[in-house]
Amino acid sequence: MAELASGEEPNERINVEVYPIDQIATQEPIHENDHIVLRMDVEGYEYEAFKGVTDILARDSPIFVFVELHSSLHKHERESIINELEQTGFTPVGLSMDGGTTIESLQSFNPVAETDRNVHLMAKKT
């Protein structure tokens, strides 16, 4: 269970049920040759969300990840997300500073150092 701001009244909170993506994926089987696309935009909770997707990331299936690294993430949380991707065989392929409208090269960007704005990171495993 998680508590979220409702957005309707100042300081009003609502409780929502939260499930790890790995748990949800067990309800609908993912076959060996299935392509997986994981799009994650959870407004600063990326670090927690990645803890619940480790089984899927470790699969040998082709996977494409598009994840927002929210500006509120601490440096160690960004590093942990990027390390998890690298350790499970992902290759970063691009980034977007404008929500995915344009995609830029990774050569001049360090997603761990950029903490003053949201960044969308794209990575793939084939």
Taking all residues of the chain, what is their mean pLDDT, rounded to a whole number? 80
Looking at residue 18, its pLDDT comes to: 82
Residues of the chain with pLDDT under 70: 1-10, 106-115
Kindly report the pTM of this predicted structure.
Answer: 0.72
**CATH of segment(s) 30-125:** 3.30.950
Looking at residue 106, its pLDDT comes to: 66
SS (H, E, C) the chain: CEEEECCCCCCCEEEECCCCHHHHHCCCCCCCCCCEEEEECCCCCHHHHHHCCHHHHCCCCCEEEEEEECCCCCHHHHHHHHHHHHHCCCEEEEEECCCCCCCECCCCCCCCCCCCCCEEEEEEEC
